Amino acid sequence: MNAPASILDAIPRRLHLQPDHPLLITRKLIESRFPGYKTHNNLFPIVSTAQNFDALGFPADHVGRNRTDTYYINKETVLRTHTSAHQADTFRANESEGYLIAADVYRRDAVDRSHYPVFHQMEGARTWDRAQAAKEGKSLADIIWADVEKIPKHDVVVEDPNPTIHPERNPLQATHSADEVEAIAAHLKRSLEDMVITIFNAAKSATDAQNTSAEPLKIRWVEAYFPFTSPSWELEVWWQGEWLEVLGSGIVSQPILNNASVPDRVGWAFGLGLERIAMLLYSIPDIRLFWSKDSRFLSQFSEQGPIKTFVPFSKFPACFKDVSFWLQARKSPAGGAGATAAPAPSNQPPAPTSTSPGSASSAIVPPAAPAPAVPTFHENDVMEIAREVGGDLIEDVRLVDEFEHPKTGRKSLCYRINYRSLERTLTNEETNELHEKLRAVLVERLGVELR
């Protein structure tokens, strides 16, 4: 179990169901572009590792499974890290050709203005029945192409330079024909373009009112990789001078459908982060605001009428404080690979904690087993301690310095904490107190030595 109370407390908030909340409005805007798709907005966030990872074909050593990245309730139970955790079950229920899922998801991650350990995703899928097509004496591809024609047309410039199928980078699945995949890919792209263009046109009309140098909308498809789709793509939007990734998508892995007892179905799926979209739609500058109960935030959003840009209720002063510490040197019995692991970027497989002694306990709690057990350091532990101690009073945590002692080989890290409330000016006393507490908890949990 590595989920702190502050995270469990978020479970009942269900912001995507809160009337007039920007996440609810964004969800409904997306739903409005998928008529006939069955919506699921009440799925419980605690799922099995089978649902979250195994059913989706995540390899056993995938970094997403790490305790440093994922909240475990016990060895086989997690707080879902994505809405895809419900794909297999939703396909198995086989209630509709298309579905949409909106839900809170949980990930241990950085602390800054666009990352929060709880956020919301929306997932969608559309499948067709091969056996049904055969029964009707029609080709599945023809049926799908006819459905493509029903999707509203748009005139936005779309860059899509890659072939649908690339043998190495974006392979066709063994049980699919190229004809089928061309048709499914066209349906996927047209459906998702329609949704994204609707959202960004709404965002543009909200921001163009203040912005005279408004650029026309542009979108592009980029090849991607997910364990549970192939071929796979991301959709990017040209927004305020940069390409921005807005969603992941692809042709559903056939084994998922086969294992869900719907082997005759084939189709596509996508997933996106609701906060990211809502932040653009409303120009919301900080992800913590979604959790605010302050009426100066909440009163600015309404399900009625057009999207209106969020007006920040003045920016309160920032207060930066640094904390530096030595990581404990590892005393390896074999005299082998020296010091404690450095903070690994989350896309690199860190040393598997599952093979170390005492692994049933959290990586942030030194294992109860006697030496030579070594607490493994991961940057996400610092991030989480900051959120636990500072709550929403911390805006950002950043590694600002890293140093290895030339003689002892010990490593020292310096993190800069930005204390800033969204609602008021913090007093010196208050930030000092929080910072002292943070320093103490770092020592207690991570076994580091303050400098």
Question: Does residue number 116 form part of the binding site for ligand PHE (CB under 6 A)?
Answer: no
How far apart are alpha carbons 40 and 43 in whole angstroms? 7
Question: Does residue number 123 form part of the binding site for ligand PHE (CB under 6 A)?
Answer: yes
Select the residue interacting with ligand PHE from 91, 106, 119, 270 (CB under 6 A).
270
Select the residue interacting with ligand PHE from 45, 117, 231, 248 (CB under 6 A).
248
Q: Could you tell me the smallest distance in angstroms from the CB atom of residue 269 to ligand PHE?
A: 4
Question: Does residue number 381 form part of the binding site for ligand PHE (CB under 6 A)?
Answer: no
Nearer to ligand PHE, 247 or 323 (CB): 247
Nearer to ligand PHE, 221 or 310 (CB): 221
- For tokens 């709880």, what's the residue? 118
Nearer to ligand PHE, 117 or 271 (CB): 271
Question: Does residue number 267 form part of the binding site for ligand PHE (CB under 6 A)?
Answer: no
Convert 248-286 to b/e letters by CB count within 10 Å (16 or more is b): bbbbbbbbbbebbebeebbbbbbbbbbbbbbbbbbbbeb
Question: Does residue number 221 form part of the binding site for ligand PHE (CB under 6 A)?
Answer: no
Nearer to ligand PHE, 228 or 419 (CB): 228
Nearer to ligand PHE, 125 or 446 (CB): 125
Nearer to ligand PHE, 46 or 351 (CB): 46
Question: Does residue number 229 form part of the binding site for ligand PHE (CB under 6 A)?
Answer: yes
Question: Does residue number 99 form part of the binding site for ligand PHE (CB under 6 A)?
Answer: no
Rg (the chain; Cα; Å): 24
Nearer to ligand PHE, 232 or 328 (CB): 232
How far apart are alpha carbons 375 and 340 in whole angstroms? 8
Q: Where are the alpha helices (DSSP H) in 371-419?
A: 379-390
The footprint of ligand PHE on this chain (CB under 6 A) covers a number of residues equal to: 11
Q: Could you tell me the smallest distance in angstroms from the CB atom of residue 449 to ligand PHE?
A: 37
Select the residue interacting with ligand PHE from 250, 343, 350, 366 (CB under 6 A).
250
Tell me the three state secondary structure of residue 353: helix
Please state, in angstroms and as integers, the Cα–Cα distance from residue 136 to each residue in 149, 174, 182, following that order: 20, 24, 21
How far apart are alpha carbons 38 and 194 in whole angstroms? 18
Q: Tell me if 89 sits within 8 A of 127, measured CB to CB.
A: no
Question: Does residue number 82 form part of the binding site for ligand PHE (CB under 6 A)?
Answer: yes
Question: Does residue number 84 form part of the binding site for ligand PHE (CB under 6 A)?
Answer: yes
DSSP state letters, 227-257 = TTEEEEEEEEEEETTEEEEEEEEEEEPHHHH
Phi, psi of 326 (to 5 degrees): -90, 135
Range in contact with ligand PHE (rule: CB under 6 A) among 38-46, 193-201, 263-271, 314-322: 263-271
Query: In 28-170, which ranges are E strands?
Result: 38-40, 46-48, 72-74, 77-79, 98-106, 118-129, 157-159
Q: Which residues are near ligand PHE by CB under 6 A?
A: 82, 84, 123, 226, 229, 248-250, 269-271
